[in-house]
Amino acid sequence: MKLDANGHSLMTRRFMLLDTQKPTPLPACNSEAIKAANPRVYFVYGSLMDPTTLQAVVKAREPPVLRPAKISGYHLKMWGRYPALLDKRPLLIIHGLAFEIGEFEDVDQIRQRLQDYEGPNYEPLQCFVQFEGNEERVRAITFEWVGDQSELKEGVFDLKDYQMRNLESKNV
């Protein structure tokens, strides 16, 4: 096994690199810090992956353009039927969708609508997203669970199941 001058293997150096790239939590959506960072991409991993839901939340005329993307260093648990993003799992990859809020006229208003939809158990978190088929990492915002972790259970979010339940509730 090859070691560098500090006695670290390639795998150890990769883990160390992940630790230095850990995203930092951002304050509330209306804060000056988020405006200063100015990420214009949002990464979604739950109900907002449904184009109809996202369109309704941001109050857009057309559904936002969603692109397959992923983030690493997090894991998901379930809060009822909704996923909750938690950090501290460097090797796990979360697949979701990303969209740019720059296509909207009032970016601050869109940010606030997304925060309102997520509610008090989720806070915006700065992360790096990688679009599928592209190695480039882009600064983005996602929402991290900050609620009571005892309310979370192991499970998997199923977008098709979510969409079917919403369709059934509209038909009742």
pLDDT tens profile 90-107 = 778 999 999 998 766 688
- Nearest-angstrom CA–CA distance, 141 and 126: 5
Q: Please, are residues 73 and 129 in contact by the beta-carbon 8 Å criterion?
A: no
- Nearest-angstrom CA–CA distance, 50 and 44: 10
* pLDDT at 32 exceeding the cut of 70: no
Joined tokens for residue 139:
């600064």
> Which amino acid belongs to residue 155?
G
* Domain 24-171 in CATH 3.10.490.10: yes
pTM of the predicted protein model: 0.76
Residue 24, helix vs strand vs coil:
coil
CA 66, 68, 69, 70 dihedral sign is: positive
Q: Where are the domains of the chain?
A: 24-171
* pLDDT at 111 exceeding the cut of 80: yes
